[in-house]
Chains A and B, each alone.
Chain A
Amino acid sequence: MNFTLKIWRQKNQKDEGRFETYEVKNISPDASFLEMLDILNNQLVLENCDPVAFDHDCREGICGSCGMMINGRAHGKGRKQATCDVRMRSFTDGETITVEPWRANPFPVIKDLIVDRSAFDRIMQAGGFISVRTGSAPDANSIPVCKDNAEEAMDAAACIGCGACVAACPNSSAMLFVAAKVSQLALLPQGQPERKERVQRMITQMDKEGFGNCSNNYACEAECPKGISVMHIARLNREFLTAKLT
Chain B
Amino acid sequence: MNKALDFYYSSIGKKVLMSVTGLFLIVFLTEHLIGNLLLFAGDEGKMYEAYGDFLVSNPVIRFIELFMFLGIFVHIIIGVILWFKNRKTRSVKYKLFRLKDNATLASRTTIISGLVIGIFLYIHLTTFFFPLRYSDEKSGAYELVVNAFSDFWYVIFYLAALFVIAYHLHHGFQSAFQTLGLRNKKYAPVLDIIAFFVWCLIPLGFAAIPIYFFFFHGSGATVIMWGF
Whether A219 pairs with B94 at a CB distance below 8 angstroms is no
Q: Does B72 have its Cβ within 8 Å of any Cβ on chain A?
A: no
The contact of B101 among A69, A218, A222, A233, by CB within 8 Å, is A222
A213 within 8 Å of B by Cβ? yes
Interface positions of B from 123 to 153, Cβ below 8 Å from A: none
Task: Write out the residue numbers on chain A whose beta carbons fall within 8 Å of the beta carbon of B183.
Answer: 231, 234
A120 close to chain B: CB less than 8 A: no
Please give 19 more A-B residue pairs, beta carbons under 8 A apart, in addition to A217-B104, A234-B181, A237-B179. A8-B95, A69-B96, A72-B101, A98-B95, A100-B94, A100-B96, A103-B92, A204-B10, A206-B11, A207-B9, A207-B11, A212-B86, A216-B171, A218-B107, A219-B99, A219-B102, A229-B185, A237-B15, A241-B180
A29 at the interface (CB under 8 A from B): no
Interface presence of A210 (CB below 8 A): yes
Instruction: Tell me, yes or no, whether B219 is within 8 Å of chain A by CB.
Output: no
Nearest-neighbour CB distance to chain A for B104, whole angstroms, equals 7
Residue numbers in A under 8 Å from B102 (CB-CB): 73, 168, 217-219, 222-223
Q: How far is the CA of A211 from the CA of B101 in the complex (A)?
A: 22
Interface size, A (range): 35 or more
Q: B178 contacts which of A203, A216, A240 (Cβ < 8 Å)?
A: A216
Q: Would you call A214 and B101 a contact (CB within 8 A)?
A: no
Is the Cβ of B99 less than 8 Å from the Cβ of A170?
Answer: yes
> Is there contact, CB below 8 Å, between B94 and A72?
yes
* Residues of chain A within 8 A of B16, CB atoms compared: 237, 241
Query: A85 an interface residue at 8 Å Cβ cutoff?
Result: no
- The residue on B at minimum CB distance from A223 is B102
State A234–B181 Cα separation when bound (angstroms).
Answer: 4
- Per-residue CB proximity of B88-111 to A under 8 Å, as 1/0? 111111111111011110011010
Partner of A238, one of B97, B103, B181: B181
Contacts A223-B102, A237-B178: A103 and B90 contacting too (C-beta < 8 A)?
yes
Residue-wise, chain A 233-246 has the 8 Å CB interface mask toward B (1 for contact) of 11111111110100
A20 nearest CB across to chain B (Å): 12
Asked whether any CB of chain A lies closer than 8 Å to the CB of B7, the reply is yes
| Cross-chain contact B184 with A235 (CB below 8 angstroms) | yes
B182 within 8 A of A: yes
Q: How far is the CA of A238 from the CA of B93 in the complex (A)?
A: 32
Q: Is the CB of A103 within 8 A of B94?
A: yes
Q: Are B103 and A72 in contact (CB under 8 A)?
A: no
The answer to whether residues A241 and B101 also contact, given A98-B96, A172-B89 and a CB cut-off of 8 A, is no
Nearest residue, chain A, Cβ from B104? A217
Task: Answer whether residue A19 sits at the interface, using C-beta atoms and an 8 A cutoff.
Answer: yes
Contact between A235 and B181, CB atoms less than 8 A apart: yes
A105 CB-CB contact with B under 8 Å? yes
Q: Is the beta-carbon distance between B103 and A219 smaller than 8 angstroms?
A: yes
Neighbouring A residues of B93 by C-beta, 8 Å: 103
Asked if A77 CB lies within 8 Å of chain B CBs, one says yes
Q: Are B99 and A215 in contact (CB under 8 A)?
A: no
Given A72-B94, A244-B3, check contact A217 B182 (CB 8 Å). no
Within 8 A of A (CB), among B1-47: 3, 7, 9-16
B12 and chain A: residue at smallest CB distance: A240
* Docked CA distance A46–B60 (Å): 81
A-B contact list, 30 entries, CB within 8 Å:
A8-B95, A69-B94, A71-B98, A72-B94, A73-B101, A100-B94, A104-B89, A106-B89, A170-B99, A170-B103, A171-B89, A172-B89, A203-B11, A206-B11, A213-B82, A213-B85, A214-B11, A214-B15, A217-B103, A217-B104, A217-B107, A222-B102, A229-B185, A231-B185, A234-B184, A235-B181, A237-B179, A237-B180, A237-B181, A242-B181
Which residues in B have their C-beta under 8 angstroms from that of A236? Answer: 181
Check A230 for interface membership: any CB of B closer than 8 A: yes
Which residues of the other chain, B, contact A212 by a CB distance below 8 angstroms?
11, 85-86, 89
Question: In whole Å, how far is B146's beta carbon from the nearest beta carbon of chain A?
Answer: 41
B74 is an interface residue with CB less than 8 A from chain A: no
Q: How far is the CA of A241 from the CA of B181 in the complex (A)?
A: 8
A217 to B174, CA, bound (A): 11
| Residue pair A104, B101 in contact (C-beta under 8 Å) | no
